[in-house]
Amino acid sequence: QSVLTQPPSVSAAPGQKVTISCSGSYSNIGSNYVSWYQRFPGTAPKLLIYDKNKRPSGIPDRFSGSRSGTSATLGITELQTGDEADYYCGTWDSSLNAVVFGGGTKLTVL
């Protein structure tokens, strides 16, 4: 059972917007910003969003992140079929003294 809670799957049509939620507690999301990762089958995760909605070089601004209390949200606009992947949230948990992740959300672009 993951410390952070994500929906197992989400879906949307090409060109539409989708959001993926990540729910935690004060000791993780409530205290530290979440990072979001994209993972295609057979490849390593890629950092998409970190800190307060920062994107590494090369990540398009179609990807965005936000936080409210003990929940975080990844937003993806202008969906493309190439966005079909698994998405994970993760951050430091100050009580566990460990990095914690969500269980992952599979995005399907219909």
Partner 1 sequence: QVQLQESGPGLLKPSETLSLTCTVSGDSVSSGSNYWTWIRQPPGGGLEWIGCVDYSGSTKYNPSLKSRVTISLEPSNNQFSLELSSVTAADTAVYYCARGEGYSNYPIPYWGQGTLVTVSS
Q: Which residues bind partner 1 (CB under 8 A)?
A: 2, 31-35, 37, 43-47, 50-51, 56, 88, 90-92, 94, 96-104
Residue 80 C-beta: closest distance to partner 1, Å = 23
Q: Which is nearer to partner 1, 79 or 85 (CB)?
A: 85
Enclosing H/E stretch for 105: strand 105-109
Which is closer to partner 1, CB of 33 or CB of 62? 33
Q: Which residues contact 13 (CB under 8 A, 6 or more apart)?
A: 79, 109, 110
> By C-beta, is 3 or 79 nearer to partner 1?
3
State the residue for tokens 């879906």: 11
CB atoms within 10 A of CB 61: 9
